[in-house]
Structure 1
Amino acid sequence: MKVNQAELVISAAKQDQFPGTMIPEVALSGRSNVGKSSFINTLINRKGLARTSQRPGKTQTLNFYIINDRFHFVDVPGYGYAKVSKAERAAWGKTLELYFSSREQLNGVVQLIDSRHKPSEDDILMYDWLKHHGHKVVLIATKCDKIPRGKWAKSKKQISGDLNRDPSDPLIMFSSETGQGKEEAWREIKDLLFAKQPDQESADRSEPDAND
């Protein structure tokens, strides 16, 4: 995917702040510090569009980024950070539940998991919750440059087993440092975004600059 335009539309703290446009969306979810900001910046070839919080777990908004005036990436608050109060977690949870359960524009979710470690309890609960709500999920195993390539298969097996992964949900080894998995991630994300728009996808394939 060639990205010509990317910008933050709004940081929404509640449902009535979500953009009203009907363009398709993909949400990005994961533990705090899993590398969501680096993932977004790598995909769009921009170093500073998505920024890492100086206080992990304290981001309380859903950040809507518009890409090529055609779709949104929605960076949702990171989960699993112990220093966040129960009251804050409850407030985020209500907004997130409304988003994931009722957002008509949401076509799927990218869930990021650190490839260096087994999935956390929060990773497992989040995946189960997304599947309970019927979402298609692309699993991204981040920071794979930090482990030997010979251990990638073991990492994927661990993640798949612990999550009881739906075989239809792709699992991609990814590194923001090397670009590993970038093209594969884009292919799967485009499938999420435009599976319901075959005519538009045909037009994309006919454009000479549609892909890297």
Structure 2
Amino acid sequence: MSVIRVALVDDQALFRAGIRMLVSSQPDLEFVGEAGDGREGIAMASEQRPDVVLMDIRMPVLDGIESTRGILADAAQRGGRQPRVIVLTTFDLDEGAARAIRAGASGFLLKDTDPEFLLAAIRTVHAGTSVIAASATRELFEHFGDVVAEAPSEFESLTGREREIFLLAARGLSNSEIARREYLSEATVKTHVSRILGKLGLRDRVQLVVFAYEHRLV
């Protein structure tokens, strides 16, 4: 059984202790390091090379957004596998979570999420799938403000079918749910989603959600 190496960057010592105990209780997870601010987080991740980093947004010295950028850039510079970053936020309406996703995070969760869901999220992002706090998705991305960028020309390159699937994915439907709704196979939906991400220059479905709400496409 492969073990997932997990690290935490958060300025609250009590929260760090709780997460350390939770992660360490799992046979397939190993807690490999922690840091109290974003700058320490970059150094810790460079030394410990975790598979998944749990990242607070609001911290002294350097916030979680810049720390995420730094951790991913350091890993890319070394030529190694970049860790997956899950942003942890206290607030339902937190624009910082969306900014962190644009900086390279693989998703975000609220800090009061159930422990079992957090553990599942760690395993999910390590497997290559993104996670997002469903309870806050619409409220978060509708809270960006009044400045709305026009959809880039790449969006016009999507076929009619791809636009339909884009909108369903942006609303949080899974491949299986889209397949049932559109009377398609899951493999066909997966192919469409991959093409959509490629045409729009997006990394994953979480960035697709951000893209959709930023440009008011849903």
TM-score by length of 1: 0.37
Higher RCO (C-alpha under 8 Å, 6+ residues apart): 1
Give the greater-gyration-radius structure (CA): 2
TM-score by length of 2: 0.36
Q: Which has the higher strand share?
A: 1
Q: Which has the higher helix share?
A: 2
